[in-house]
Amino acid sequence: MPNLTRRQFSAAVVAACGLASLKLRAMQTAARQTGLRDVFKDDFLMGTALGGGGLAQGTSPLLELVAREYNAITPTNMMKWGPIEPREGEWQWEMPDRFVAWGEAHGMRVVGHNLVWHSQVPSWLFVDADKQPIGKDALIARLESHIRTLVGRYKGRIHIWDVVNEAIEDDDKGWRQSPWTRIIGPEFMERAFRVAHETDPKATLLYNDYNEHNPGKRAFLVGVLKDYRKRKVPIHGVGFQGHVGLDYPDLAEYEKSIEAIAGLGLPIHVTELDIDVLPRATRSTSADVSATAASSESLDPWKAGLPPEIDERLTARYRQFFELFLKHRKHVARVTTWGTFDGESWKNNFPVRGRTNYPLLFDRDLKPKAAYAGVVALK
Q: Report whether 166 contacts 209 (CB < 8 A).
A: yes
Beta-ladder partners of 204: 160
d(CA 306, CA 308): 6
> How many CB atoms are located within 10 Å of the residue 187 CB?
13
Which residue of the set 85, 169, 190, 272 is catalytic?
Answer: 272
If you count them, how many residues does the chain have? 379
- DSSP class of residue 58 equals S
Q: What is the DSSP string of 135-180?
A: PHHHHHHHHHHHHHHHHHHTTTT--EEEEEES-B-STT--B---HH
Instruction: Please say if 212 is a catalytic residue.
Output: no
Q: Report whether 361 contacts 375 (CB < 8 A).
A: yes
d(CA 85, CA 219): 35
Which residue of the set 166, 169, 190, 212 is catalytic?
Answer: 166
Q: How far is CA 73 from the centre of its chain?
A: 10
Instruction: Please say if 272 is a catalytic residue.
Output: yes
Q: Report whether 167 contacts 182 (CB < 8 A).
A: no
Catalytic residues: 166, 272
